[in-house]
Structure 1
Amino acid sequence: MKRVSLFWLIFALGSGAALLDAADTPVARINHIALYVRDLKTSTDFYQQVLGLQTIPEPFHDGRHTWFLIGPKTHLHIISGATVELPKDKNTHLCFSVAAVEEFIPRLARAGVAYENWAGQASAVTLRADGVKQIYFRDPDGYWLEVNDAKE
């Protein structure tokens, strides 16, 4: 009888731990972000040269896609074929973190890319309440990007 009780105790504790682990694990995680662009080469060059992103193999091999690695098991897909320029609001943006915003800004200058702070002041940096520095700029298709120095 004691063996059966011990078995059920271990089973109950194990099941509870599994439930806790499952509750702490997100149901979904980001896999990729896709941006529809007008000129694949221009956008590919921008993301490689300005942001320093690494391309990864893409399965289509049709000359319309470039895939970049942007995190563990996370990609940015650039897809050519856009013909209409849609309005893009700064509130909708893709953010990348760097070690130091001040060290990143010269990359933008070399590429001729203007940046601004959140309020829209040219060549200015936003300092968040938590001390994180942020800048905002647009890619060749007008998509807003943020670069900050957040450590997490």
Structure 2
Amino acid sequence: MAQKEKKQTAVLNHIAVYVADLQKATDFYHGIFDLEIIPEPFKDGRHTWFTLGPAGQLHLIQGAKASTVHDKNEHLCFSVPSIETFIKKLNSKNINFEDWGGTAKGITNRADGIKQVYFKDPDGHWLEVNDDK
């Protein structure tokens, strides 16, 4: 029997997030997620690049005109080893979070046992953090 050759699939390279205040957004993502800043080629003061390890990169781009209302269904998701420890970090930084339904300080417990919280970055982009193993 002939073996089927596996097709090469596309892989994620980066996610770009348009922000109004680059320094504020950079401080937020670095401070909340401990992301490592990596060199960016433009060197124009309008970009911050973070590594996301094997998942790719997160690019923050200065230039958004105003805060926009974003739907929670459109969000970035990060996994952490302990949702409880992460919630303590959010509380220490006075960052409001909620469950999927919008209950303040709530935690969503998915049917598969994964715990999730949702909150917004300084530009109103929704973020999910879960303890997916």
Q: TM-score, normalised by structure 1?
A: 0.83
**Aligned partners of 2:18 and 2:83: how far apart in 1?**
27
* 1:130 aligned residue (105, 112, 115): 112
Please name the residue that 2:16 is paired with. 34
- The answer on 1:110 being equivalent to 2:101 is no
Q: CA RMSD in A?
A: 1.3
SS for the counterpart of 2:91 is helix
* 1:86 aligned residue (58, 64, 68): 68
Please name the residue that 1:7 is paired with. none
Question: Residue 73 of structure 1: CA displacement?
Answer: 5.5
- The answer on 1:56 being equivalent to 2:43 is no
SS for the counterpart of 2:37 is strand
SS for the counterpart of 2:51 is strand
Please name the residue that 1:140 is paired with. 122
Please name the residue that 2:83 is paired with. 101
Question: Residue 86 of structure 1: CA displacement?
Answer: 2.3
Higher RCO (CA-CA < 8 Å; seq separation 6+): 2
Question: Residue 70 of structure 1: CA displacement?
Answer: 1.4
**Aligned partners of 1:29 and 1:150: how far apart in 2?**
21
Question: Residue 85 of structure 1: CA displacement?
Answer: 2.6
**Aligned partners of 2:55 and 2:82: how far apart in 1?**
24
Q: TM-score, normalised by structure 2?
A: 0.94
**Aligned partners of 2:93 and 2:26: how far apart in 1?**
14
**Aligned partners of 1:70 and 1:110: how far apart in 2?**
24
Please name the residue that 1:4 is paired with. none
SS for the counterpart of 2:98 is coil
**TM-superposition CA deviations, 1:60-112 (whole Å, max 9, x none):** 11111000111315000000011133220000000000001001111111221
Larger radius of gyration: 1
**Aligned partners of 1:110 and 1:66: how far apart in 2?**
25
**Aligned partners of 1:73 and 1:125: how far apart in 2?**
25
Gaps of 5+ in 2: none
